[in-house]
Amino acid sequence: MDQVLNNIRKMRPDMFIHGVINGAYGTTYFLTRFREVLFHCSAQFDLLDATVPRDSQERLLIERDIFGRAALNVIACEGADRVERPETYKQWQARNQRARLR
């Protein structure tokens, strides 16, 4: 992650916008992870409800392959089995500062 941010800095962009999902998914405590993924997924499903019909094949793929896999990783996997460990906004902010990005 640091290498990517350093490469972006070397490109000298006029503007850098970094969108992150702020959540404590990386914590070791199950209840905290579960609560965070519940809040995140409920917001995502609200968005889908407003924009994509429930009987849409595309929606099924999004729900199963993207949201389902992400939720499974956060809730069910422990230790080395966890594929991703998302970071909080503060952690990303520190990384961006180290890379001298604003």
The per-residue pLDDT for 56 is 93
Kindly state the percentage of the chain with pLDDT values over 70. 93
Phi, psi of 100 (to 5 degrees): 60, 40
In this predicted model, which residue has the larger pLDDT, 29 or 95?
95
**Each residue's pLDDT tens digit, 1-42:** 889 999 999 999 999 888 777 666 767 788 888 888 888 888
The per-residue pLDDT for 92 is 87
Pick from 59, 57, 86: nearest CA to 71: 86
Q: Domain residue spans in the chain?
A: 1-20+87-101, 30-86
In this predicted model, which residue has the larger pLDDT, 71 or 97?
97
| Distant-in-sequence, close-in-space partners of 53: CB < 8 Å, separation ≥ 6 | 59
